[in-house]
Amino acid sequence: MERQAIATVGVGARVVRATVASLVFCLAAIAGGLLVGTERVDLAVALRDPDSMQAAIVFGTRAPRVALAALVGAALAPAGLAFQALLRNPLAEPYVLGVAGGAAVAGTIAIVIGVAASTLGQWTLPVWAFLGALGAIALVWRQGRVRGRLVPNVALLAGVVINSLAAALVVLIRLGASPNASQQALVWLSGSLRIVEAPHLGALSAYVAVGVVALVALAVPMNALALGEEQAHVVGVDVERTRRALFAASSLLTGAAVAFAGPVGFVGILVPHATRAILGPDHRVLVPASALVGAAFLVMADTAARLSLLVVGQELPVGVLTALAGAPFFLAVLRRRGAERGW
């Protein structure tokens, strides 16, 4: 009993240390996002004079976009972490599994039929995207089951196929839409962050908070699932119920992120691998840390996207930059996994 109490205290201390370190990193990235851009700003002037041009740039233009980037990153990173634990596969993430693709299909439909432009658009578009993400993961779940059991590699391949199908459906939907709606969908699908109003940030914050808190509550069962289904059963985990809860929470996070930023790929594979390499495999530590590091990563990526205006003459979508960073990393993980298994 005494050893168990000491172990619990030890885990709690590690969670606190990792969370504090990740929070400091996240705050540093946010500060950089506010101060760095195509226009030089003086933060002292912005704070001293709320009516100045400096304040308008920092708090009126950059702050909402930095907040959006942080929230989207905080959603996608723990979602990827959960999918990797569920499927026991380091290649699993919302984009590869087709979850982001399902959210993109539903979100595109919402834009084309005008739901996203309604008064309640900031609330309803995430609902549509969440339902699309949930539908995609339901297909992955169904196609990935062999003889009543989920086979991780089969589920991953099913996700790749569903992602391709989703891309084709998005093209078909845009072809049948008006030019204006098609253009709106194209901008959204490029994975771009933009200036958003406070109600939109409030809506996204609510969705992200629910999803992350759910994953924190499920961290111990995630540890068991990461070791295998049999081991999870041995320690008393209800595998099917836990998987459904994790799928729902991860789909909610993915749907909310896609609704406000479009499909931003590879955040869900880069950040979990980086945090796991530094902090170890315990999901009690990894879930809050990955959310904060994911926020920092996407803020830095968006800052780089804004600075690309000075280099290439136009601002690159943040999804392009995350793909440029994430695709080689994905291939490296795939090659290492293949070497380990003798492919």
Q: Quick check: 155 pLDDT over 60? A: yes
pLDDT-based confidence at residue 123 (cuts at 50, 70, 90): low
**Do residues 225 and 239 lie in contact, with contact meaning Cβ atoms separated by under 8 Å?**
yes
pLDDT-based confidence at residue 2 (cuts at 50, 70, 90): very low
- What domains can you pick out in the chain, each with its CATH number? 2-341 (1.10.3470.10)
Sequence-ordered list of residues with C-beta below 8 angstroms from that of 267, at least 6 positions apart, any chain: 72, 73, 76, 77, 80, 93, 294, 297, 298, 322, 326
pLDDT value for 121? 54
Distance, CA of 187 to CA of 185 (rounded, Å): 6
Give which of 30, 68, 116, 118 is closest to 264, Cα–Cα. 68
pLDDT value for 120? 57
pLDDT value for 77? 95
pLDDT value for 244? 85
pLDDT value for 300? 94
pLDDT value for 296? 96
Residue type, 207: Y
* pTM for the predicted model, two decimal places: 0.86
pLDDT value for 1? 42
